[in-house]
Amino acid sequence: MAKGSVKKGNKWYYRFYVENESGSLVQKEYAGTENKSETEKLLRKAMEDYEEKKFMAKITFILFRLYYSNLSDL
């Protein structure tokens, strides 16, 4: 997953790629702070949150499929 920070005027922004509903990667950009190191901390936190939610969504989907397939066996 590509990531990075860019400066626009006096403010730093961070961006990274996320997977949309169709499975394609799209770049998302968020406003950071006036300090590059603080913005990079925000970037790392955002990426961790994204990966955790993505992982949980996949587990939820798998569990749903298992539950649904068990219902159809009844």
Q: Which residue has the higher pLDDT, 74 or 52?
A: 52
Amino acid 2 reads A
Is the pLDDT at 8 greater than 80? The verdict is yes
Q: Tens digits of per-residue pLDDT, 13-62?
A: 999 888 877 778 888 899 999 999 999 999 999 989 888 887 655 666 66
Give me the pLDDT at residue 57, please.
Answer: 58
Give me the pLDDT at residue 43, please.
Answer: 93
The parent domain of residue 25 ranges over: 3-72
Number of domains in the chain: 1
Would you say 23 and 12 are in contact if contact means Cβ atoms under 8 Å apart?
no
3-state per-residue secondary structure call for 63-74:
HHHHHHHHHHCC
Give me the pLDDT at residue 11, please.
Answer: 95
- Is the overall model pTM greater than 0.75, yes or no? no
Would you say 11 and 32 are in contact if contact means Cβ atoms under 8 Å apart?
yes
